Chains A and B, each alone.
Chain A
Amino acid sequence: MIMIFLYGALATAWNILAGYCGQISLGHAVYFGLGAYTSTLLVREAALTPWLGMLAGAALAVGISQAIGYPVFRLRGHYFAIATIGFGEIVQTTVLNWDGIGGARGLFVPIKRPDSLLNFQFHESKAVYYYIALGLLALALVVTRWIERSRRGYYFRAIREDQDAAASLGVPVAREKHAAMAVSAALTALGGTFWAQYVLFIDPESVFPLSLSILICLVAVMGGVGSLWGPLLGAAVLVPLSEGTRVLLGGTGKALDLVIYGALIMVIAVFQPAGLMGLVRHLGRRRPLAASAGARRESAA
């Protein structure tokens, strides 16, 4: 459940930038890693509570995201996505070779006992992690909902549909994209800190990989981009599926679980491009739609 919440939160954060604003980022692991590394380094070097580290990580992620935004937002569509992959690789490689922060060896989060909320470590029971992850997810959903219902949400969607037409109507396209990126990066970084405190060990391979960026994207796309609940739905389906295939097939040859995973995603992409959310909506609407179609036919006659 904790992983469903975490991936749900990450995918929801990604969805703000990619689903609503239409900027498909494949570099979100950067922000996840920044969150994880910032809080962990602050715990190690300054004995700062991870909660403040979490905020610092989010702030740093916002800063970096804005800097990245200047060059990459000039690009559109696929080129944007490719550029974000590039930035992800740059950051991962930098951290890998940066011995001062552990380099490729990674960092352990110092174990603190007894369990306390302040230390953000709970060895006796995972229940607290459960609630914190749930809280992160709730935060991401609330923020999404709030944006969705404000002018900003409308602007985001207009930019996704046609940024030139949006600009002609007075939408400050670059500013709105940066805003979407900032919110998305901050929420992703919070997830990174949570991960660090949950696993208590981080290295570039686990928090900065391209595969994580892609997984976040996959979860959201599978569930349904541009909708509030889609990414959570995606997480609720994909996380158990991934765990399940790994348990059943993971030992057989490492990749078979991923093959099944990939095949399923292709099935969804082909038959339900709007994601699982599209399926849900379709089923929900089928009845009223049929009824109204019948009514139209009658009125025509």
Chain B
Amino acid sequence: MSPSLLQVSGLTKRFGGIIANHEISFAVRPGELVGVIGPNGAGKSTLFDLITGFTRPDTGRVSLDGRDATGLRPDQICRLGVGRTFQKLRPFREMTALENVMIGAFLNTADVAEARQAALAALTSVGLGDRAAAHARGLSTGQRKRLELARALATRPRLLLLDEVTGGVDPGAIPGLVALVRDLHARGLALIVIEHNMRVIMDIAQRVLALHLGEVIADAPPAEVVRDQRVIDAYLGEAWR
């Protein structure tokens, strides 16, 4: 069994009286694609914030390649090879698509011309090559999702955390985005994907982590998770039986 790329153990975070994440433990191996499901408020985005250094856990550990990465700043986590996107998209609105992606590319080079090249390649890889000169504010939601993806990819991560790939995107754009994620996975990237669309999760995930009220209630291959009674009760409903 290959060693874990990411190991999360006993992660707990309280916001006032609310326990957003409680004793969460799981691991991600290199090249693995893990889906995260759960009702709103289950603590999915909080978990991402804890892993990527945006929020400090009250207790518990995050380690990357076996080394402790708990409490590092977001930019340090990024430097260790973890990229992320945000549920609420956060493009640099007044910058062009190319410039947006260059910010990610600058992690690997201080040279502007090199960064521009790398950014253009990343934009092209997500199918936005022809929108390079457009301002981020002028892009559609689907295009912005791709832009965030390209931006994170330009940092050359080994693990990518995607917060809602298809959320808020018009149905026609979903297959393209899903194909993109599958392609990244095929290229050896490890991914953790928060996703509400169960069809997408069933389709792409090797393992699914189900969260409910801040706790992991299932961690298994998708076919097993959809038969898990607790997951059905908490999230899926009877339709998935």
Which A residues lie at the B interface, using CB under 8 A?
149-151, 154-155, 157-158, 161-162, 164-173
CB pair A168–B110 under 8 Å, yes or no, is no
Which of B92, B110, B155 sits near A165, CB closer than 8 Å?
A: B92
Contact flag A151-B75 (CB < 8 Å), given A158-B92, A164-B54, A166-B103: no
A contact residues around B74 at 8 Å (CB): 164, 167-168
Residue of A nearest to B151 (CB): A169
B contact residues around A150 at 8 Å (CB): 110, 112
Q: A207 to chain B: closest CB distance in Å?
A: 34
Give A158 to B73 CA distance when docked, in angstroms. 17
Contact with A along B136-158 (1 / 0, CB 8 A): 00000000000000011011000
8 further contact pairs, Cβ within 8 A, besides A168-B84, A169-B107: A150-B110, A151-B111, A155-B103, A161-B92, A161-B94, A162-B90, A168-B54, A172-B75
Which B residues lie at the A interface, using CB under 8 A?
52, 54, 73-75, 78-79, 83-84, 86, 90-95, 99, 102-104, 106-107, 110-112, 115, 151-152, 154-155
CB pair B115–A151 under 8 Å, yes or no, is yes
CB pair B103–A167 under 8 Å, yes or no, is no
B contact residues around A169 at 8 Å (CB): 75, 78, 83, 103-104, 107, 151-152, 154-155
Which of A149, A151, A154, A164 sits near B90, CB closer than 8 Å?
A: A164
Residue of A nearest to B136 (CB): A161
Give A168 to B93 CA distance when docked, in angstroms. 16
Q: B109 to chain A: closest CB distance in Å?
A: 8
Give A164 to B107 CA distance when docked, in angstroms. 15
B contact residues around A173 at 8 Å (CB): 75
Give A158 to B107 CA distance when docked, in angstroms. 13
CB pair B92–A170 under 8 Å, yes or no, is no
Which of A151, A155, A161, A167 sits near B73, CB closer than 8 Å?
A: A167
Residue of A nearest to B103 (CB): A158
Give A170 to B102 CA distance when docked, in angstroms. 12
CB pair B75–A167 under 8 Å, yes or no, is yes
What are 27 of the A-B contact pairs (CB < 8 Å)? A150-B112, A151-B106, A151-B112, A154-B112, A155-B106, A158-B103, A161-B92, A161-B94, A162-B90, A162-B91, A164-B74, A164-B86, A165-B90, A165-B91, A165-B151, A166-B92, A166-B103, A167-B54, A167-B78, A168-B84, A169-B83, A169-B103, A169-B154, A169-B155, A170-B107, A172-B73, A172-B75
By DSSP majority rule, is chain A's interface helix, strand, loop, or mixed?
Answer: helix
Q: A282 to chain B: closest CB distance in Å?
A: 15
A contact residues around B79 at 8 Å (CB): 170
A contact residues around B84 at 8 Å (CB): 168
CB pair B95–A165 under 8 Å, yes or no, is no
Contact flag A171-B54 (CB < 8 Å), given A157-B92, A162-B92, A164-B74: no
Q: B32 to chain A: closest CB distance in Å?
A: 21
Q: B11 to chain A: closest CB distance in Å?
A: 19
Give A175 to B52 CA distance when docked, in angstroms. 19
A contact residues around B102 at 8 Å (CB): 154
A contact residues around B73 at 8 Å (CB): 167, 172
Residue of B nearest to A169 (CB): B104
Q: A132 to chain B: closest CB distance in Å?
A: 32
3 closest A-B pairs by beta carbon, nearest first, are: A161-B92, A167-B74, A170-B78
A contact residues around B75 at 8 Å (CB): 167-173
B contact residues around A161 at 8 Å (CB): 91-95
Residue of A nearest to B105 (CB): A169
Chain A CB count within 10 A is highest, among B79, B91, B92, B95, for B92
Q: B178 to chain A: closest CB distance in Å?
A: 23
A contact residues around B111 at 8 Å (CB): 151
